[in-house]
Structure 1
Amino acid sequence: MRILSGIQPSGVLHIGNYFGMMRPAIELQKEGETFYFIADYHALTSVRDPKALRENSRRVALDFLACGLDPERAALFRQSDVPQVTELAWILSTVAPTGLLERAHSYKDKLARGLAPTVGLFSYPVLMAADILIYDSDAVPVGKDQKQHIEIARDLAVKINETFGQVFKLPQPRINPDTQVVPGLDGQKMSKSYRNNIDIFGDEK
């Protein structure tokens, strides 16, 4: 089984990242081939400072290793180190219905919170689909809020397969029922963009 997941370097990692993505990813190292990437292209929707993005990416890698990622068992890499991902994202975008992307919960939620409605933010699920499909992923450990993105990836894989023949596997989401959504300090989903997070390695206060 091939397992893939990614995490954005959009700031200091918090316990929502740990329970929602990092711990499941670390536990899955023994179950098959594991590929984990630092989603620096995705982070460009909110982080525009190159120096900060580089430092955040480095910190994510160090935190992942500190939490138990074994580089002998799992591949850890930056999304931007694989240019074929953005090439595939363009190919997928040629079959992606606009209505499918307009229904994305995360897009509507981010607009409601004041983020600018950029093309990058709108097409975020297409890039995520490329991340997943290019590695022939069987399983993708995600939080409950990301399940729709896996469904979009499956929809786009089906469209490509129907158009060009059998090209992609249909990945399955892996959602831990105990940590489907980790609440933040205000009771909403913990998120750096909501400013309700508790850092993984923050002080005791």
Structure 2
Amino acid sequence: MKKQVLTGIKPTGRVHLGNYIGAIKPALELAQNEMYQPAYFVADYHGLTKIHDKEEMSQLSRGIAATWLALGLDPEKAIFYRQSDVPEIFELSWILACFTPKGLMNRAHAYKSIVEENAHTGRESDTGVNMGVFTYPILMSADILLFQTDLVPVGKDQIQHVEIARDIAENFNHTYGDTFTLPQHVIEKETAVLPGLDGRKMSKSYNNTIPLFEEPKKLQKLINKIKTDSTPPEAPKNPDDSIIFTLYKEFAAEDQINEMRSRFTSGISWGQAKKELFDVMNARLEEPRQKYNELMETPEKLNEILQAGAEKARQKARPFLEEVKIKIGLQ
């Protein structure tokens, strides 16, 4: 039996290096192993918690789909779909909601951070919280559990959501017997929290990201903005403490990485290190960037691929959802 791997990205902004290194790259690498059955999706209904503009939602959703394909996802070898095209997810989400204690949602990081910020600024505790934000972890649990997922590649900030899915699954299994697979998270430990341009966690909310498919001139300007210390050019530098080296490792070949590590320890200027980073990133992303732009210009092709993937997803989801409904007495 192949292990099911599943991951999705919500369309709340352009895909950036944090998305790529934290989720997309490890997910695609897992898919190369014949032990795994991969599933990837565009989490458009998750994006609805923030995006309420029709054109923006459509454009960002296409961008997520085009990114997966441009980076090498083969829709013939994986289940690749748009979340909103698989209604079984949302039916299961309601069922799971009925097995989810409200207290568990109260402890979800995203909701807690909003409540704490509101308290800090003297506003009502739930200001800015829609029910989509509050129940977000339940929908994510449905995404995961519907496909009997074994492994979920995520960034460090998403580990709690996988743990919540396990908690909900265990609640259901305790009542109705062994039904849901208990998922495990998979993270890239070395890049669990990727720093952004200003040294804080790379995040759209901080406006400190580097878009994955930025045009070369803009990419170089962004790389030049990466915050560094005042170490003199000739002074040795610790590569393991440098965001520049961390990013370099994700795009360079093994021999290049070893050489750059040596140059850090013997002394390299930050300006030169940033130039070297741009060179390897731009070379690695040139072909995927071109394919991404081509896909964005042919939305009908993207839609055709996603519709075919949704049918594959539903073929897998429908029988299992029926099994769940039988167990709870609805069939």
| TM-score category, normalised to shorter length | over 0.9
1:106 aligns with 2:110: yes
Equivalent pairs counted in the alignment come to 205
Q: Find out whether 1:188 has 2:200 as its counterpart.
A: yes
Tell me if 1:157 matches 2:144.
no
User: How high is the TM-score relative to the length of structure 2?
Assistant: 0.60
Shift of 1:74: 1.9
Compute the displacement of 1:42 (Å).
Answer: 0.4
Gap runs ≥5 in structure 2: 119-126, 222-331
Shift of 1:186: 2.6
Q: What does the per-residue CA deviation read over 1:168-190, in whole Å, with 9 as the maximum and x for residues that have no partner? A: 01011111112211112232221
What pairs up with 1:110-125 in 2 under 5 angstroms?
Answer: 110-112=114-116, 116-125=128-137
Structure with a larger share of its residues in helix: 2
Shift of 1:112: 4.9
- Counterpart of 2:63, as a letter, is R
Greater length-normalized contact order (CA 8 Å, ≥ 6 residues apart) = 1
Deviations 1:108-142 (A, max 9, x none): 22455677111110111000000000000010001
What's the counterpart of residue 7 of structure 1? 9
User: 1:125-136 counterparts in 2 under 5 A?
Assistant: 125-136=137-148
SS at match of 1:25: helix
1:41 to 32, 39, 45: 45
Shift of 1:5: 0.5
User: Is the Cα contact below 8 Å between 1:30 and 1:73 reproduced in 2?
Assistant: no
Q: Which residue of 1 aligns with 2:93?
A: 89
Task: Select 2:152's aligned residue among 128, 140, 144.
Answer: 140
Task: Supply the AA of the counterpart residue of 1:183.
Answer: P
Establish whether residue 168 from structure 1 lines up as the match of residue 172 from structure 2.
Answer: no
TM-score by length of 1: 0.95
Percentage of identical aligned residues: 51
Q: 2:196 & 2:26 partners in 1: Cα distance?
A: 19
Secondary structure in structure 1 of the residue aligned to 2:206 = coil
Q: Output the CA distance in 1 between the equivalents of 2:184 and 2:7.
A: 12
Unmatched segments (≥5 aa) in structure 1: none
Structure whose alpha-carbon radius of gyration is higher: 2
What value does the CA root-mean-square deviation take over the aligned residues? 1.5
Tell me if the contact between 1:37 and 1:78 (Cα under 8 Å) persists in the aligned partners. Answer: yes
The CA distance in 1 between the partners of 2:196 and 2:113, in whole Å, is 16
Report the more deviating stretch, 60-69 or 103-112.
Answer: 103-112
Paired residue secondary structure (2:60): helix
